[in-house]
Amino acid sequence: MDKIVVTGGTPLQGEVRISGAKNAVLPILCATLLADAPVEVTNVPHLHDVLTTTRLLSGLGAGVQHDLERGRVTVDPRSVTSHVAPYELVRTMRASILVLGPLLARYGAAEVSLPGGCAIGARPVDLHIKALEALGATITVEHGFIRAQAGRLRGGHVVFETISVGATENVLMAATLADGTTLIDNAAREPEIVDLAECLIAMGADIRGAGTSRIEVRGVERLHAATHAVIADRIETGTFLVAAAMTGGRVTAVGARPDTLGAVLERLRHAGATVEVDGDCVTVDMQGRRPRAIDIVTSPHPGFPTDMQAQFMAMNCIAEGTGTIDETIFENRFMHVSELMRLGAEIDIDGPRASVHGVERLSGAPVMATDLRASASLILAGLVADGETTIDRIYHLDRGYEHIEQKLSGLGARIQRVK
């Protein structure tokens, strides 16, 4: 199995081009199932989760053309014959649940394996089910499958008791083909929801309010062919900017969407970085200084993203002072803590709060990645640790970061993948 070896000590310098967002491209690829003609998606990052999604779509019978070089995927849903998302795909990628709404809306039936638990928490699917039931679906959960059926879905009023990105996306997609108007209240406001809505609108959907907590969808009879370019990945951007700040360097993220990074840039400024935004470029300059420890509370957008929590924890490990990190979204998202402590970090955990006492130096050691963003935090820690840090189980990383070693090497990091 591949490993990544990082030799710490070099401040990162230079420019890095940001890829399309993983969390936008996955729902958008699922949304292509709603159309009655081919949909072309561009700015598609080369990620393992994208390959899993295209396998899922092909398995349903869709025609999928994937041009890896150009980052372009064209899905022709006209040949879809199956409505089953099997266990072996869903268990490797929870986002497979995002075919539930589109299949149900377009074909009147969907069977999606239950994703089950995952490393960062229980992550149930009750909100997805209740929301689709509000549009008239009949749903049962048996033999490890969610089985959903409906004639044409009808518009309804969905009020989420908890904000869920995935459940908002599922019901948003389903509502586009429903009979009548759907109101979604307490909707997730993530930029990826806005990007999905923009793609659906290009396909002919009638959607207002995406990006706010009330989304209104007027159902249409059909959705047609479209081309959509995926939004820049704000989590990838944030990861490189934290890497710059931690190493005392200066990095410009090019092709980014600074407007989606509010809470992250604000925390970087708090840590002492100079942050400059110029169009689609954002620069973090730490001028060789050590970051100050910062406090973080994760919350739904526009709050601080849980997907950046592990990376900021890595920064706090070598910052001046003590910073607290409160994880409010997922109940088990501190698995990187014990690995960071192997590198010499000083962290206390008390329920959902981690207190990180900054140390002057970390020391390289073998560590193990436990989930996607945890892997990124270990690479960041390795960039500032003395000597070599070897990160095992990096398949998590390949699910969500495109060419991360090449991009970091381009900024001067000493990093390589070894077999």
Residues serving a catalytic function are 118
123 contact partners, CB below 8 Å, separation of at least 6: 94, 115, 117, 330
Residue 354's alpha-carbon distances to 290, 296, 349, in angstroms, are 21, 10, 4
User: Whose Cβ is closer to ligand UD1: residue 94's or residue 290's?
Assistant: 94
Tell me the one-letter amino acid at 382: G
> How many C-beta atoms surround the C-beta of residue 185 within 10 A?
11
User: Whose Cβ is closer to ligand UD1: residue 95's or residue 343's?
Assistant: 95
User: Whose Cβ is closer to ligand UD1: residue 26's or residue 294's?
Assistant: 26
Which residue in 411, 401, 417, 415 sits closest to 19, CA to CA? 401
Least distance CB 247 / ligand UD1 (angstroms): 25
Q: Return the structure tokens found at 39.
A: 């949909």
Question: What DSSP character marks residue 293?
Answer: P
Instruction: Determine the Cα–Cα distance for residues 162 and 57; give it in Å rounded to an integer.
Output: 29
Contact predicate 172/184, CB 8 Å: yes
Contact predicate 139/183, CB 8 Å: no
The H or E element containing residue 388 is: strand 388-392
User: Whose Cβ is closer to ligand UD1: residue 40's or residue 192's?
Assistant: 192
Least distance CB 53 / ligand UD1 (angstroms): 10
Q: How far apart are the first and last CA of the chain?
A: 6
Least distance CB 85 / ligand UD1 (angstroms): 14
Give φ, ψ of 335 to 5 degrees.
-70, -20
Least distance CB 281 / ligand UD1 (angstroms): 25
Q: Return the structure tokens found at 212.
A: 């706010």
Instruction: Determine the Cα–Cα distance for residues 196 and 30; give it in Å rounded to an integer.
Output: 10
Q: Which residues lie near ligand UD1 (CB under 6 A)?
A: 23, 26, 94-95, 121, 123-128, 162, 164-167, 192, 306-307, 329-330
User: Whose Cβ is closer to ligand UD1: residue 10's or residue 298's?
Assistant: 298
Which residue in 152, 199, 146, 231 sits closest to 31, CA to CA? 199
Least distance CB 57 / ligand UD1 (angstroms): 16
Question: What DSSP character marks residue 298?
Answer: B
User: Whose Cβ is closer to ligand UD1: residue 5's or residue 118's?
Assistant: 118
Least distance CB 128 / ligand UD1 (angstroms): 5
